[in-house]
């Protein structure tokens, strides 16, 4: 235990003293020597600054214009990330970018478009490489719901959920491979080690536990978990982690009262978002969760930050449920 505490202290304190606020810290190996090795708690992160867990990480975030994605973008920026933000809604993206720049908390670029369009995804990858020189983390958050009972569900409804929640992440991962898996392979060949990278997908308790009226969304979110766990096995040898964060009832447009009129335009069609009589559903969730309440977008973003951070360097292939103690 004493040895472990010493290792932890060396990750947050430079040799010879404490850390001033805002001072970046060179990562130290368990021997105390400066290292870019990927063994140990946070080894491989070139700098580690307390309070800025994603310092200089190059992160793509999809669905960053609203809800969980927006909260995540602001939080990642506050922790020093260099961001490429993606969303269908250009105005929302501009608002997120303006907020980050005005706060002076990080750097970001934006590109609006549809993640189910492979040409758009390629432009996102190219933008990240052109602006920041590579990609460290993918946060594949884009998605929406289009509910209906199975026997009345249209083929369009069914395939839309699979396209945006499963096929789009697969496309992003595939097109990012040269700058993640392949770049790591080259680093290992040259140096014997690769800098840490990660892929974070977004699941739902609908995918792990099922939900009436959401067979399409549930099937897609179950697929996300399978994709992520398989990717963790394929890319793990290259120091690329892959995890899914599985959300319960988080307060966003997707879980609000459908009668409030929130919607999304998808391939020329207006799709209404939310849950019929959403307030009643919220009451049920509050009564059935250990914490007795629904979650917020900021809390969801905090879970995502945790899985991207150096402290999660030995966590991969997991579907981490963030539910407030529901669905147990």
**Active-site annotation, residues:** 217
d(C-alpha 144, C-alpha 64), whole Å? 13
Q: What is the largest distance, in Å, between two alpha-carbon atoms of the chain? A: 68
CB neighbour class for 201 (10 Å; exposed up to 12, middle 13-18, buried from 19): buried
């Amino acid at each position: 235990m004493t040895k472990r505490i010493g290792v932890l202290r060396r990750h947050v304190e430079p040799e010879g003293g404490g850390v001033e606020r805002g001072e970046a810290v060179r990562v130290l190996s368990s021997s105390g020597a400066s290292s870019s090795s990927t063994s140990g708690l946070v080894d491989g992160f070139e700098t580690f600054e307390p309070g800025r867990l994603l310092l200089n990480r190059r992160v793509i975030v999809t669905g960053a214009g609203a809800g969980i994605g927006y909260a995540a973008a602001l939080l990642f920026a506050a922790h020093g990330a260099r961001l490429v933000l993606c969303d269908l809604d250009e105005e929302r993206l501009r608002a997120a970018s303006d907020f980050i720049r005005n706060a002076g908390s990080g750097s970001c670029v934006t590109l609006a478009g549809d993640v189910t369009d492979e040409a758009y995804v390629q432009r996102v990858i190219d933008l990240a490489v052109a602006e920041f020189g590579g990609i460290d983390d993918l946060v594949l958050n884009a998605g929406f719901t289009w509910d209906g009972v199975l026997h009345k569900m249209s083929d369009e409804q069914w395939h839309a959920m699979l396209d945006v929640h499963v096929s789009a992440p697969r496309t992003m991962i595939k097109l990012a491979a040269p700058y993640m898996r392949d770049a790591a392979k080259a680093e290992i060949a040259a140096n014997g080690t690769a800098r840490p990278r990660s892929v974070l997908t977004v699941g739902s308790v609908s995918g792990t536990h099922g939900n009436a009226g959401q067979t399409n969304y549930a099937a897609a979110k179950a697929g996300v978990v399978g994709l992520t766990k398989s990717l963790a096995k394929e890319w793990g040898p290259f120091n690329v982690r892959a995890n899914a964060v599985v959300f319960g009832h988080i307060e966003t447009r997707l879980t609000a009262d459908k009668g409030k009129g929130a919607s999304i335009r998808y391939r020329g069609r207006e799709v209404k978002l939310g849950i019929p009589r959403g307030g009643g559903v919220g009451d049920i969730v509050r009564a059935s969760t250990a914490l007795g309440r629904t979650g917020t977008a900021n809390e969801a973003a905090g879970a995502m930050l945790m899985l991207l951070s150096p402290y999660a360097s030995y966590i991969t292939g997991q579907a981490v449920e963030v539910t407030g103690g529901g669905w147990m």
